[in-house]
A and B are shown apart, each in its own frame.
Chain A
Amino acid sequence: MKNHYKIKWSNEKCTDAFNCAKCLEVCPEAVFAIYAPNREEGVAPEEYVISPAMQYFCNGCGACLAVCPNDALKIIPKS
């Protein structure tokens, strides 16, 4: 059954999600999604954030933790 882990992403530590995005590239379960919280028409967004959108499917493999250069992710097992 799924839903084993919660993922915490740190806004303070992950400072340049748009140019890094390494966690997105390695996750086998396609858990993460990057998006711009404040978009305006015709303007390039300034801020991007990482959402563990599909954390329900996280298998705890740790690939994202290993690749994150800023230690911005935490995987918390659900009790």
Chain B
Amino acid sequence: MCDICTAHGGGKKWFEVKRHVEVKFAKEMGFEPWEKDHWQHVHQQYAQLAAQAGDAMADPVMAENVRKMIDNLIFQIHPLNKNVTFTFPQGHGAQVLTRQEIEGVIKLSGEPYLIECLCRKMINNASDRCCIPLGLHGETAEMFPSKQEKVERISVDEAIALIRKFNEQGRVHTLAGTPLPMAMAVCNCEVPNCIALRPRVDMGFNYIIRGHSVAKVDVDKCIGCKECLSRCQFGAITFQNATGRARIDMWKCYGCGLCAETCPEKAIELIDRESLPALKDWW
């Protein structure tokens, strides 16, 4: 179990719990003002925090302190009422999920929206309609820059077709908790122009945690075609000339499943992180 499931899943995975995608429940819990504030200020928070965090990275002790501070913001649990605990509603934690898991969340929610990715807009000035907020997160979306951008309500089938297209393009699917464990933002990300993946992969800040799967190459099936190599955004796959096969560094793998989907020989298996004693606590 990852920390989010342990704290919020009640035996299930956190994104399989129906109320975590329900608009009614999110409103009851009083998250509407939080959502609005989040949409308004997330750009500014990134731009300012990233600069400070970058400065801190130069000093190992300070870097460690910043990491701890961010972990506390995202994963700290405090009781809001006697039945439910939520992470401090400042954190926008997320997890890498496979395409199948993401499609499950979209079906569970039934209320997908489509918007332009604010990360790509603010970092690359690129218009990239790849962000699928769900429920209240989509309802409250006010995009950056608000003078141009439209928030579109789409059907579940349209959302799933988009997810499959993004998967073919090689984008990493992540699910963000807004705030955790409300499973309301499906992102289709790229490194480095994602405001959460970049700090995670290059700076070690746990805005995003690894997924429930780990990819492993079946050495008997791999024919060394190299198809999978360009799919990994995390640098986990290399080609080994000596063996003529792909090799996956499972410590680096985030479990996105993109390599497995593309392999023509079905030589990549996604295995449950929990089943690997060394990796079961490696999120």
Contacts and interface: CB of A to CB of B under 8 A. Distances in A.
Interface of A: 2-3, 18, 21-22, 24-25, 29-30, 32-37, 39, 41-45, 48, 51-57
- Secondary structure of the A contact surface, majority rule: loop
15 contacts: A3-B54, A29-B192, A30-B123, A30-B193, A33-B46, A34-B43, A34-B125, A39-B41, A39-B44, A44-B145, A51-B50, A53-B47, A54-B54, A54-B198, A55-B51
B142 A42 contact: yes
Contact of A52 (B51, B58, B198): B51
Q: Is the interface of B mostly helix, strand, loop or mixed?
A: helix
Interface residues of B, number: 31
Contacts of A42: 142, 146
Contacts of B203: 56
A19 B144 CA distance: 14
A2 B147 contact: no
B40 interface: yes
A35 B50 CA distance: 13
Contacts of A3: 54, 57-58
A24 B124 CA distance: 5
B46 to A, nearest CB: 6
Given A3-B54, A41-B142, A25 B125 contact: yes
Rank and list the top 6 A-B pairs by shortest CB-CB distance, nearest first. Answer: A56-B54, A44-B147, A51-B47, A53-B50, A21-B125, A35-B43
A36 B58 contact: no
Contact of B123 (A18, A24, A44, A55): A24
